[in-house]
Amino acid sequence: MRFVKKSLLLLSLLFASFAAISNHDVSGQGYQHESYCCNDTLHEKTDVSDFHRCGSTLYRELEEASYPKIRQFREKLEKESQIWLKKHNEQSQILNEVITIPVVVHVVYNRSRPEQNISDEQILSQIDALNADFRRMNFDTVNTPEMFRHLAADTYIEFQLAQRTPDGLPSNGITRTASNVEEFSFDVDNIKFDDMGGKNIWTRDRYLNFWVGNLKQEYLGYAQYPGGNSATDGIVVSYLNFGTTGTVQFPFNQGRTVTHEVGHWLNLVHTWGEDDTCNSTDYVADTPAQEKAYKQCPGFPQISCDSEDMFMNYMDYTDDHCMNLFTAGQAHRMHATLSGFRAPIKDSDALIKPELSNLLCDTLNKGLKSGPLYLYLSSEGGYATGTNVHNDKAKAQYFENSEEFTIVKGGAFAMGAAHDKGGLAYAAIWEMEPGRKPGTHAMRNTPMAIDKIKDDLEDGELTHFRFEPALAIKGPFFMGVILPENDTLALLASDFTDITHAWEQWENNIWYNFQDSWNGTLNVNLAIYPLVCRILPPWKPDQIVNLKLGPNPLTLNSLNLHFSNFSPEWLINIEIYDITGRRVFYLYNKEIQSQINLDLSSINYHGMFFIRVYNEHFEVSDKFLRINTVNH
């Protein structure tokens, strides 16, 4: 790692129509069925000498001690479940309707511990593992003892990351919150509240909420049983045991902490019941009576209560490698819950991608396009605004977002260098952390092929990208590029300014402002142009249609019309007149949209122009100044 200032060699390269040449010179800157079960050398290991597999039982006891009415309500729910189960006999009824549950994962990480901000890949690995376990598609079904195989069941329950927020904005089902809290505890439940350093719940009737963070008291996770507080309803899991890759630690690295806790969320109890006696029950007929929990990976058979114990059940305490089944009775009990207390989630709209038709969109940083852009070289080798000998990981630009846009659809980069070896870079967006710097991990990223960027560069074009789905934001943010490991890539940047909003992530994962990392010799802004939008309210007959023009003054040939308070079913007419009253442009029966782009290259002179937009419902007009007719 380098912790020294970097230096610039020169600024160069004429890039199509938006770069210029400069010669400035600056400086600065063992389950026994399989031998592999219980011995893993690829992952960090959890110290099992002082840990608790599950905190759900204690969490429930604390809940009910504080609020006795919750216990009474749960007793009522249990009676309702038993009635449903008698009506839907578990041995005769075949489950054939798959229920898909919308999921949101709230990652809450300590600012000084960036590894707690687990990756999207790790989160997706957990969803995959969860679906495999619940659909009996897990790779280790062969490890189920023969005497239990006829009881093992596909639960016909699946899970999918949500596609919209509670407010109807697009989402990938993941939220990320930087916190000053070092450890979260279930006796306080602080991970579930904004004002306690956590993240507020998304409505429980529409989402299964997961919170992932650093847990106190060595608990792997805990869930809230049906019937508890609506503000805390969900599942909390340690970042060390969520998913099958990334930060997970053996022997809890196959995602089965989550499988176990979702069982509790759907009203399953541990296989040995409430107490360590043979008289306790888990309310499921086809799981054998069991005296106590099993840990690690015991050999089969293990016998208690005069029968072989089903310690490989997901609701026991064995290591992840040793778990491999739910029973048909457990599946039916979960469906009883999904037909009772959890029934509203089946009607959730959280998996429906929001239609973003009535939007007002704009491009930020447009002013940068009108001035010269430069490619900056590092005197040590490589590019100051891209890949270099310092192994910089990313470059990003800060955006104030003063218009309170709530959606980022994508954007564009002006690149100055691209040398292709077949690799990828990533367009990315980061949230703002204290110090007005980017977060360690991107909130969203999308791949860009270096060979495509190279083609854009040779054609003198911007490199455009889109986030799928679009990203909901609130307030300031950073947008930039995650640099390729083996290819060469560099952004163009502005001429020198008094203040730079450009940042770079060094190989130590720390972000530095260009002013600091280049010793005040590279105060520039990066040629990055976010495409941002906000949702407009639906049109009402008594509302006035609003028209906003941009850019104004117009220096190129492209004029954007932004509409609000309109009906999407309308056709409109557009006319443009010069100062003499001569019509110089018209477009009739155009479908109205929140943004319409007009190509005015047919107008070959400058001056003041007037635009009229109308149909049988409304008429609006405005004026704009055209000061440059040069084609770019």
Tell me the pLDDT band of 94, cut-offs 50, 70 and 90.
Answer: low
Average pLDDT on 606-629 reads 86
Instruction: Provide DSSP, 98-149.
Output: -EEEEEEEEEEEETT-GGGS--HHHHHHHHHHHHHHHTT--TTGGGS-GGGT
Report the pLDDT value the prediction gives residue 599, as an integer from 0 to 100.
Answer: 92
SS (H, E, C) 313-352: ECCCCCCHHHCCECEHHHHHHHHHHHCCCCHHHHHCCCCC
Cα 316 to Cα 46, 74, 272, 485: the distances in Å are 18, 22, 8, 44
Beta bridge partners of 313: 325
What span, in angstroms and rounded, lies between the C-alpha atoms of 80 and 66? 24
Residue 631 has pLDDT above 70, yes or no: no
- Higher-pLDDT residue of 367 and 238 is 238
Is the pLDDT assigned to residue 560 strictly greater than 80? Answer: yes
Question: What's the pLDDT at 594?
Answer: 79
Kindly report the CATH number that applies to the domain delimited by 537-626: 2.60.40.1930
Give the mean pLDDT of 299-306.
93
Structure tokens at 232: 């805390």
Q: Comparing 51-268+321-347 with 537-626, is the CATH topology the same?
A: no
- For 460-513, how does the pLDDT look when each residue is reduced to its tens digit (9 = 90+)? 999 999 998 888 888 899 999 999 988 899 999 998 888 889 999 999 889 999
More confident residue, 520 or 576: 576
Give the per-residue SS3 of 536-549.
CCCCCCCCCCEEEE
Quote the pLDDT of residue 538.
62
- Does residue 311 have a pLDDT over 60? yes
Q: Is it the case that residue 12 has pLDDT exceeding 70? A: no
Backbone angles phi, psi at 60, to 5 degrees: -65, -40
Token output for 429: 């967006």
Looking at residue 324, what is its pLDDT? 96
What are the tens digits of pLDDT across the range 434-460? 778 898 788 899 999 999 999 999 999
Closest CA to 324 of 105, 93, 146: 146
The least confident of 190-204, 277-291, 533-547 is 533-547
Q: How far apart are CA 504 and CA 396, in angstroms?
A: 6
d(CA 197, CA 440): 18
pLDDT of residue 7: 67
Of the listed ranges 184-188, 225-229, 552-556, the least confidently predicted one is 552-556
Is residue 257 within 8 Å of residue 314, measured between CB atoms? no
d(CA 282, CA 113): 39
- State how far the Cα of 62 lies from the Cα of 548, in Å rounded to an integer: 56
* Strand pairing category for 546-550 and 375-378: unpaired
Task: Provide the mean pLDDT of the chain.
Answer: 87
The residues pairing with 363 across neighbouring beta strands, listed in sequence order, are 531
Supply the pLDDT for residue 2.
39
Please report which confidence band the pLDDT of residue 28 belongs to, taking 50, 70 and 90 as the band edges. Answer: very low
As a whole number of angstroms, the distance between CA 524 and CA 4 comes to 20
Q: Evaluate if residue 80 carries a pLDDT over 80.
A: yes
Select the highest-mean-pLDDT range: 2-16, 18-32, 585-599. 585-599
Nearest residue to 238 (alpha-carbon basis) of 257, 265, 259: 257
Could you tell me which residues are beta bridge partners of residue 504?
395, 512
CA atoms within 13 A on the CB side of 586: 6
**DSSP string for 68-103:** HHHHHHHHHHHHHHHHHHHHS-TTTPPP---EEEEE
Fold of 8-22+372-534: Jelly Rolls (2.60.120)
Sheet containing strand 463-472, strands side by side: 359-363, 528-535, 407-413, 463-472
Domain boundaries, the chain: 8-22+372-534, 51-268+321-347, 537-626
Residue 182 backbone phi and psi in degrees, to 5: -85, -40
Kindly indicate the confidence band of residue 109, based on its pLDDT and cuts at 50, 70 and 90.
very high
Q: What's residue 287's pLDDT?
A: 95
**Partners of 415 in the β-ladder:** 491
Please say if the pLDDT value at position 546 is more than 90: no
Asked if residue 222 lies in contact with residue 56, where contact means CB atoms within 8 angstroms, the answer is yes
- Band of residue 555 on the pLDDT scale cut at 50, 70, 90: confident
How many CB atoms within 10 Å of residue 546? 14
Pairing state between β 477-482 and 424-433: antiparallel
- Tens of pLDDT, residue by residue over 396-405, are 999 988 777 7
Nearest to 564 by CA among 609, 587, 596, 589: 596
Q: Is the pLDDT of residue 20 over 60?
A: no
pLDDT of residue 542: 67
**Which of 242-246, 598-602, 607-611 has the highest mean predicted lDDT (pLDDT)?**
242-246
Positions marked active-site: 261
Report the alpha-carbon distance of residue 601 to residue 597 in Å, rounded: 12
| Pairing of β 607-614 and β 571-578 | antiparallel
Looking at residue 41, what is its pLDDT? 41
pLDDT band at 43 (very low <50, low <70, confident <90, very high): very low
Q: How many helices (H) and strands (E) does the chain have?
A: 7, 32
Q: To 10 degrees, the CA torsion angle through 230, 231, 237, 242?
A: 80
* pLDDT tens string 388-429: 998 999 999 999 887 777 899 999 999 999 988 888 999 999
Supply the pLDDT for residue 405.
Answer: 79
CATH 3.40.50.300, applies to 51-268+321-347? no
Comparing 266 with 432, the larger pLDDT belongs to 266
| pLDDT confidence tier of residue 30, bands split at 50, 70 and 90 | very low
Output phi, psi for 291, to 5 deg.
-80, -35
Token output for 152:
């093992």
What tokens appear for 464 in the block? 């455009």
Does position 537 have pLDDT exceeding 70, yes or no? no
Cα gap 575→278, rounded to integer Å: 84
307 three-state secondary structure: strand
Whose tokens are 């190989």? That residue is 507
Q: What is the pLDDT of residue 534?
A: 81
Over 60: is that where the pLDDT of 353 sits? Answer: yes
Task: Give the HSE-up count for residue 210: Cα atoms under 13 Å, Cβ half-sphere.
Answer: 33
